[in-house]
Amino acid sequence: MVILSLAVGVAALGVALEAESRGARKTHVVQAGESIAKIADYYGVSQRDLREMNKLRKGRALKVGQKLKIPNVLRVPGKKYKVRKGDTLASIADKHGRTAREVAQANKLDVNDPLRIGRTIVIPDKGATSRGIKAKGREIKPILFLRVRTGERERLRLYHSNGKINRRGVTRLSYLSRDKVDGKVKRLNFRLIKMVEAIAEEFPDKPIEIISGYRAQQVGGNESQHAFGRAMDFRIPGVSGKQIWRACKKLPRSGCGYYPKDGFVHMDAREKKASWVE
């Protein structure tokens, strides 16, 4: 099968990669007709990370010739794969032991979409939540979670006493954080799990009330950290939102939003720290 270009050809999309050495940050030179969404999709990174890395306001048009730094962090935990002639989502997924749907979701694609040769595809990790934490000198307690919308309660241990991830606990928290519309479940990002654990330790023996976790995203819709299992909106009874927000801001590579009118704090895992009040 010959892989066809989508709206923009490879030549229009990519040009200058000024990486000095392996692992160096890439630089993209904007071409006519490109947008933040197209460039982010091409490199397998999130639009939010791309905007923040380059201090771009949402909705601001790009200028031809403008140089953009490309984040090193992929949109979802995984590895990079560059599309070659003859590749399809199904063949790429099969080659890496994934399903076409898993690869499509990680890359904001429909399973039947054609692919641009040269585009970076993210192959999502199977064990994206498998990394542990430093357990020495800290007491790891189970955490009481409450799903506000449904009233479900569950006391979960996210890490074992040796600091390794508790897969069952993460699976159950992912279920409690499921999409509120269609009930779809997505395993939460391992960095978000670490952040939740850190907040729980900052306010010990307090329940965490989940307002929103994973939110499914329609193909072509606005990108959200919620859509990749990297964000949670929550509150803690007896603790002010401002206190939670301040604790969140101490965490590395965190996105922290305080919504006093709605009474919750947004927390997400990203490449560059950010905080706001709305």
pTM as predicted: 0.63
Q: What is the pLDDT of residues 2-26, one digit of tens each?
A: 333 333 333 333 333 223 223 456 8
Q: What is the pLDDT of residues 225-268, one digit of tens each?
A: 898 888 999 999 999 999 999 999 999 989 999 999 999 999 99
Name the more confident of 142 and 78: 142
Distances (CA, A) of 59 to 62, 173, 199: 9, 34, 32
Give the pLDDT score at 158.
Answer: 95
Question: Can you tell me the distance from the alpha carbon of 251 to that of 265, in angstroms, rounded to the nearest whole number?
Answer: 14
User: Hey, how many other C-beta atoms are within 10 angstroms of the C-beta on 221?
Assistant: 10
Whether 143-277 and 10-124 are alike in CATH topology: the answer is no
Contact (CB, 8 A) for 13 and 34 = yes
Question: Can you tell me the distance from the alpha carbon of 185 to that of 187, in angstroms, rounded to the nearest whole number?
Answer: 7
Q: Which CATH class is domain 143-277?
A: alpha beta
State the average pLDDT over residues 107-112.
83
**3 state DSSP class of 261:** coil
Residue with tokens 């031809």: 64
Contact (CB, 8 A) for 253 and 269 = yes
Q: What is the pLDDT of residues 16-63, one digit of tens each?
A: 322 322 345 689 999 999 999 889 888 888 887 888 889 888 778 899
Nearest to 216 by CA among 121, 126, 105, 122: 105
Question: Can you tell me the distance from the alpha carbon of 74 to that of 272, in angstroms, rounded to the nearest whole number?
Answer: 13
Domain boundaries, the chain: 10-124, 143-277
State the average pLDDT over residues 139-145.
94
Per-residue exposure over 139-150, b if at least 16 CB sit within 10 Å of its own CB, e if not: ebeebebbbeee
Question: Can you tell me the distance from the alpha carbon of 53 to that of 92, in angstroms, rounded to the nearest whole number?
Answer: 29
Which CATH architecture does the domain made up of 10-124 adopt?
A: Roll (3.10)
Q: In sequence order, what E strands does the chain have? A: 26-29, 67-70, 78-82, 120-124, 143-147, 153-156, 208-212, 231-235, 254-259, 264-269, 274-277
Q: What is the pLDDT of residues 153-209, one digit of tens each?
A: 999 999 999 999 898 999 999 999 999 888 999 889 888 999 999 999 999 999 999
Q: What is the pLDDT of residues 61-84, one digit of tens each?
A: 899 999 999 988 787 777 889 999
